[in-house]
Amino acid sequence: MTIFTRAMIDPRHRLAMRALASLERMHAIIARATDGDTDLSRVLWRLDPGRTRQPSRLYIVSPNVPDAEILRQELGVGTADISTCSYEPFLSRLECGQEWGFRLKANPTHSEPSGEPGKRGKRTGIIRVEEQQEWLFHQARRAGFHMPINRLELPEVLVRHSVQEKFRRKGSTVTLTSATYDGVLVVDDPDLLRRSLIEGIGRAKGYGFGLLTLMPLADDHRKEPRSLSLIHI
């Protein structure tokens, strides 16, 4: 079974402020809440910051129901702020040719040439926005979807936020390239897309990257070039 969870977090809460200040701390909290210490690779999560004075949204995709008590203790989340449901009914409705709005926070990377035959080079983050988009186009082909071209002859995707996220882990500073994509996708292979929704896209999934979410498009999305001002559930 796959469970989809949304938790509304008040970023001004004392507990939330402490947790949200560190990806390493959030990583540990999600692991505890989902029993993910043994297999966190099966858990995806993403934090979508809210607008001014609005709650942030924490999304979790996991094989079990997250422990609400741990979320309350660590993030100050009330029971009424947590919504949990089976992901299976939604996943089963995916069909070839469907269009969905999407959001993805990913860690786009590539391997630098090693200079030695047969040796893989160092993996580094992709910094330029144009190359981050190219990275997503490549990932999409393997994930069962593509981004359509709008009437301005541009792909229906924007990099909403691109930043280098830093945190401390075991006495060292870790830097991860973060790119948040908002866009419109067309389903090419429902099975591949289902797997991508459950297993994620790209690297650093334990640190809040790789979770792809879908949402219905507005009825009038074809009247203008789709600016991707999407409402996420």
CATH number, domain at 203?
Answer: 3.30.70.1210
DSSP-assigned states of every residue in 76-144: ---GGGEEEEESHHHHHT--TT-EEEEEEEE--EEEPP-SSTT-PPPEEE--SHHHHHHHHHHHHHHHT
Q: What count of Cα atoms within 13 Å lies in the side-chain half-sphere of residue 100? A: 25
Please tell me the total count of domains within the chain: 2
175's CB contacts (< 8 A; 6+ apart) are 125, 164, 165, 166
Reported as a single tens digit per residue, the pLDDT across 178-201 is: 999 999 999 999 999 999 999 999
Tell me, what's the pLDDT at 153? 85
Reported as a single tens digit per residue, the pLDDT across 57-68 is: 999 999 999 999
162 within domain boundaries? yes
Q: Are 173 and 167 in contact (CB under 8 A)?
A: yes
d(CA 226, CA 4): 27
The domain boundary residue, chosen from 33, 57, 90: 90
The domain boundary residue, chosen from 40, 69, 90: 90
Question: Residue 137 is part of which domain span?
Answer: 96-215
The tokens for 132 are 């981050």
Bridge partner list, 164: 177
Examine the domain organization and report whether 101 and 127 are in the same domain.
Answer: yes
Examine the domain organization and report whether 34 and 120 are in the same domain.
Answer: no
Q: Are 163 and 178 in contact (CB under 8 A)?
A: yes
Tell me, what's the pLDDT at 213? 97
The tokens for 108 are 């786009």
Confidence of residue 224 (pLDDT cuts 50, 70, 90): very low
Q: Are 117 and 191 in contact (CB under 8 A)?
A: no
Reported as a single tens digit per residue, the pLDDT across 109-165 is: 998 776 666 666 688 999 999 999 999 999 999 999 999 998 888 899 999 999 999
d(CA 196, CA 63): 15
Tell me, what's the pLDDT at 170? 84
Q: What count of Cα atoms within 13 Å lies in the side-chain half-sphere of residue 96? A: 4
- Looking at the chain, list the stretches that DSSP marks H as alpha helix, in order from N- to C-terminal side: 14-20, 23-33, 68-75, 88-92, 129-143, 190-199
Confidence of residue 36 (pLDDT cuts 50, 70, 90): low
% of the chain with per-residue pLDDT over 70: 87
The tokens for 229 are 């001002």
232 within domain boundaries? no
Examine the domain organization and report whether 127 and 84 are in the same domain.
Answer: no
pTM (2 d.p.): 0.88
Examine the domain organization and report whether 131 and 172 are in the same domain.
Answer: yes
Examine the domain organization and report whether 178 and 86 are in the same domain.
Answer: no
d(CA 62, CA 30): 10
